[in-house]
Structure 1
């Protein structure tokens, strides 16, 4: 029988090019499974770490040496008491009578915040409205205003939805997109254009006989001629872009129909 051969010495792991070998980082005993859920509960880790062995045991802390705050110094003279106590660290000689005025970042107002829009919401995208009086309608995204609100339209001839502003959280962006070409939104269609004029709600002094003194007349909204012209300008560009598509008949019917969920249909499972 041949004598046993000596084992070869284990080779040391080669150092990396930089010359410094990184230490191996092990996995913790109680790791995160996802969404803040840990592998073991608090009571389980109490037993795994054997913390029950230390319950009730008290280890007195070592007394800390007290720092001197005063020093006793001798005083010359017969009637001066002989010694006096002097502070090692002198107190402040000046105390403000009022707090300092804090400067606040007034220039970072809400109107100057950076607006970010979802990548899927680009001009020409067909969107589904989720809130408001036109909820459920399919509309065309025309542009994004400086305030971050989306500017959408029906077109009005298809589903009676005029030019409106709406937050992006109340919109579902679909995969259907319309090529608007070189169409540019008029410069005057901004946030100030869509602001409503708040008229005074004071009751008039003159009243007819038999009229309720608490009755308030609500004026009916009538769009201006400028609003009608702008609506026609934007809608004509969208209808012209729809007419160039091969599936124009299907797209027209798609925009005219309303969105809704049947039984056993869930919005988070659908692909738009």
Structure 2
């Protein structure tokens, strides 16, 4: 008997002449694929037989095991899609640490400088001017809206009450039909005494740390601006 010549041969360097997919096609292995037969699924009972009394009722009746609702919503309710994504804590930039001086780029205090106190569990930065120096109170800021500088301050131990719950707003009461057409005479919401006392407590800790660095107090009071020919990506802060 003559030995069967192999379909694939080796080229110099130990590289096969044909790829695996080409050999698969030449040998017609696709015709020999094993098809698995799915096991038969037992159908679950959806109805049960119930005996009914009376001569003209037929004796028995098929009753569904699970009752259908009597009323249906007038509008389709949105169902959330299945999502495997896990919420991960926000990664803080390496240039921002507790005590870093940042420049705020958005909000009512944009252009002002502030001191980073810490990163809150929500991922936002907790910053302050301090308020006694440049009027920036305790605020939460996204790190995408600040410019980190190389200046930093050594902060002392801060109060444990500085959390996200401090900035939670109270829900507004809903109005009925009569109150909708009445002029709003309610006073504007005022800052609570608790926040004012906490701001003073934080300022008493941060201001001495700021004054210990030369020229930092006047640096925090100045406002950041760009003039003609100045580009932030070319600057070193």
1:262 aligns with 2:227: yes
**Quick one: which of 26, 38, 41 aligns to 1:92?**
38
For residues 41-120 of structure 1, the aligned pairs below 5 Å read 64=28, 67=31, 91-95=37-41, 109-110=86-87, 113-120=88-95
- 1:46 counterpart residue number: none
Q: CA RMSD in A?
A: 3.3
**Whole-Å Cα distance in 2 between the matches of residues 261 and 224 of structure 1?**
36
CA apart distance, 1:94: 0.9
CA apart distance, 1:200: 2.1
- 1:166 counterpart residue number: 141
* 8 Å CA contact 1:124, 1:141 repeated in 2: yes
**Whole-Å Cα distance in 1 between the matches of residues 212 and 30 of structure 2?**
89
- 2:171 counterpart residue number: 198
- 1:149 counterpart residue number: 124
Structure 2 gap segments, 5+ residues each: 1-12, 14-24, 45-81
- 2:69 counterpart residue number: none
**Quick one: which of 185, 197, 208 aligns to 2:158?**
185
TM-score (ref. length: structure 2): 0.64
1:242 aligns with 2:207: no
**Whole-Å Cα distance in 2 between the matches of residues 65 and 109 of structure 1?**
42
Question: Cα–Cα, structure 1 residues 95 and 186, in superposed 2: closer, same or farther, change >3 Å?
Answer: same
Aligned length: 177
SS at match of 1:185: coil
TM-score (ref. length: structure 1): 0.56
Structure 1 gap segments, 5+ residues each: 1-22, 24-60, 70-87, 99-103, 207-211
**Whole-Å Cα distance in 1 between the matches of residues 112 and 40 of structure 2?**
70
Question: Cα–Cα, structure 1 residues 201 and 131, in superposed 2: closer, same or farther, change >3 Å?
Answer: farther
* 8 Å CA contact 1:143, 1:185 repeated in 2: no
Per-residue deviation, residues 226-250 of structure 1 (Å, max 9, x unmatched): 10111001111111112223x2xx3
- 1:122 counterpart residue number: 97
SS at match of 2:195: helix
SS at match of 2:178: coil
SS at match of 1:132: coil
CA apart distance, 1:202: 1.8
**Whole-Å Cα distance in 2 between the matches of residues 94 and 68 of structure 1?**
24
* 8 Å CA contact 1:203, 1:216 repeated in 2: no
